[in-house]
Amino acid sequence: MGTEIILYVLDQLDKYLALIFGSFMASFGGFMSAFVVLYLLLMAIAYFKSTFAEHTKEIGWSILLVILLQYFIMDFSAFKHWVVLPIRSTVIDIASFFANAGAGAGGDGIEDLFIKLDQSVIKMKETIDFIFPHTNFLMDAGNYIKATMALGAMTLAFGAVYVAYILLLCVGFFSMYVLFVIGGPCIFFGAFKQTRFVTWSWCRALANYSLLVVFASLVMGICITGITSAMDVFAQNSDPSLGYFTREVGYVICWSLLSLGMLLKSADYASALSGGMAGSTAMITGGLALTGGALFSASRMATNNPATQLAGKGARKGLGAIGNRAYSAMKGINRGGGPLDTGGK
């Protein structure tokens, strides 16, 4: 799933860049011509003030750079071939190498970003299907609730890591394409000494968001090793008779939470190396918190809505003490009650 999301995002970004770049640079062409004329006018003034000799070499380089850069920034196919694709391919290849602990395959590399993560997802699903109760809910409500709480917490923790990694990659690639859109003017200003700082600032920003993708994959590559090991232990030692709040489940949850925390530090690593400003990951944390809150609210609605209450009353009337305890257990989850005591009076 992660691969499909990233491929879809990159495809839409490519379409937008192809759509906007040509018209944007056509509009910028008038400003570029006026800027060059103004620059030459200032050099003419410097000539009459007898300071032209000091800028002769600089003027020569600027005129040469304008001629060369015009080919790269005015033609989209050249800009994409010489700027966009090399940067994007390099970032993806390095990121996929780190994400798979040095086992990245060749080619485009997008699929390699999620190989180990997807393998862990499949293994976790198979193990949960094996140990989850398969008996009647009303006859074994206690185990159902314990399994849902323990395995649900593990699934949510691992899912948060998966979602955070996808979001970081999307933020990195999206920001890179925002900078590609305005890349033409920024590269053009590099032809002149007085405005070259704009080009260097653009390069630092592009490096910052490129490194965000790389460091997120590097952190994920380190953490997925621990998650995979914990998942292997969880799969090998899964026995429903031992309960559900086991040490193996705790391993997976702890590694997932550690991975989530370190993923959110990727922006700090990127900014420290590129010399830029650290990007905020508060939106990712907030999004995960909102998702968790929505799931919790949904669980409350599921146990408090009239249909559930009616079903619970029917179960109490139809099944006596067993139905009464099952309905009470469902209500107790939202009151912060402890695990269901299946031993009745």
- C-beta of residue 326 within 8 angstroms of C-beta of residue 137: yes
- Ramachandran area for residue 9 (φ above 0: left; ψ -120 to 50: alpha; else beta): alpha
Q: Which helix (H) or strand (E) holds 93?
A: helix 85-99
Q: Into which CATH architecture does domain 2-22+75-278 fall? A: Up-down Bundle (1.20)
Q: Could you give phi then psi for residue 298, rounded to 5 degrees?
A: -65, -40
Which tens digit of pLDDT belongs to each residue from 277-308? 655 555 555 555 554 554 444 444 434 444 43
Which tokens go with 220? Answer: 């994920």
Note the pLDDT of residue 202: 95
Give the start-to-end residue ranges of the domains of the chain.
2-22+75-278
210's CB contacts (< 8 A; 6+ apart) are 87, 91, 172, 176
Q: How far apart are CA 23 and CA 122, in angstroms?
A: 46
Which tokens go with 45? Answer: 């003034």
- Is 60 exceeded by the pLDDT of residue 42? yes
Burial of 305 (0-12, 13-18, 19+ CB in 10 A): exposed
Q: What is the mean pLDDT of the chain?
A: 75
What is the model's pTM?
0.73
Q: Could you give phi then psi for residue 193, rounded to 5 degrees?
A: -60, -40
- Is 60 exceeded by the pLDDT of residue 322? no
Note the pLDDT of residue 180: 96
Which tens digit of pLDDT belongs to each residue from 221-276? 888 888 878 777 777 766 666 666 677 778 888 888 998 999 999 999 998 888 76
Q: Which residues of 160-197 are buried (b: 16+ CB within 10 A; e: fewer)?
A: bbbbbbbbbbbbbbebbbbbbeebbbbbbbbbbeeeee
Q: How far apart are CA 14 and CA 23, in angstroms?
A: 15
Q: Which helix (H) or strand (E) holds 6?
A: helix 2-48
pLDDT band at 316 (very low <50, low <70, confident <90, very high): very low
